[in-house]
Amino acid sequence: MGKQKRSENTYQKINTIFMRDAKNVIMPYEPFVKPEFEYLRGLKWRGEEKVDGTSMRIEVTKTPIWDGGTVGGTLNGVEFKVRIAGKTDNAQIPKNLLKHMQEKYPNEKVYTALGLKEFIPVEEWEDHKWNSYEDIPNIYTIYGEGYGEGIQSGGWYIKGGNEFIVFDVKVNNLYLKTEARDDIATKLGAPIVPLKGYFTLDEAIDYVRKGFRSEVAENPEAKMAEGLVLRTDLGLCDRMGERLIVKIKYEDFQKYRAVYGTDDKVEQQRNDHY
């Protein structure tokens, strides 16, 4: 497949909350992987179910349309183009998943969900509160997880099919608030990652360690959910400007138990390369 080509629009990396030891096992009783997580440890974070699949995105980009097709002439309007992509620019999208997305989320539904049309003439820009071409976002992105049969271990979610579940929406470089994300996903007709509640980070750790059933799976008794993804409602960022978002996975606790035979604290040698 070759090296995966990341783009500026590739979804941000979601850190796991724990450091790992020399056996690549989580260190649940040591300081968290980022000092910001320690600082905000007692804050209530929004916890949503983590889905085991492949990261996908629907991108909508703009192009100016000139009178007669000549750049520098009279600007007639703006055209929007839809693109379905994987986690990286050259990621191979499973054929059945791509077919599902093209059929369930055609371009017109994407435009409608975002309040756009394929072509918007200059005369209608005021309706969108655009005063100039520069006011129009360069890119809209709907991020989600493609899951189901043939994707990771996702066959237990859906038997004989695939789905795309939305977890974020971004306009240019700004991630939208949850209410706006949910409104767009609902208009698109796409499912949204389930909200499991608001947790301090310690509460979230206990919740995932015990395990919980997936709300996404058709048969929730088939398997425990993969875990939680946690973020702040206000989109807080670290001092480098990166949005704070973190994951806690059930399988990490299973591995800890398998290696050390307990949930209690044990002596662990830190992995200096992690």
Contacts of 35 (CB under 8 A, 6+ apart): none
Q: State the DSSP code for 233.
A: T
What confidence category does residue 6 fall into, taking pLDDT thresholds of 50, 70 and 90? Answer: low
pTM for this structure?
Answer: 0.93
d(CA 78, CA 255): 52
Between residues 219 and 62, the one the model is more confident about: 62
pLDDT digits (tens, 9 = 90+) for 19-53: 999 999 999 999 999 999 999 999 999 999 999 99
Give how far the C-alpha of residue 241 lies from the chain's centroid of Cα atoms, to the nearest Å.
Answer: 18
Rg over CA atoms, the chain: 21
Q: Which domains does the chain have, with CATH numbers?
A: 1-51+193-274 (3.30.1490), 53-191 (3.30.470.30)
Q: With 70 as the cut, is the pLDDT of residue 183 above it? A: yes
Q: Mind listing the pLDDT tens digit for each residue in 104-120?
A: 999 999 999 999 999 99
- Cα–Cα distance, 28 to 26 (Å, whole number): 6
Those residues with Cβ within 8 angstroms of residue 61's Cβ, 6 or more apart along the chain or in another chain: 80, 81, 83, 138, 139
Q: Give the H or E element holding residue 83.
A: strand 75-86
* pLDDT higher than 60, residue 3: no
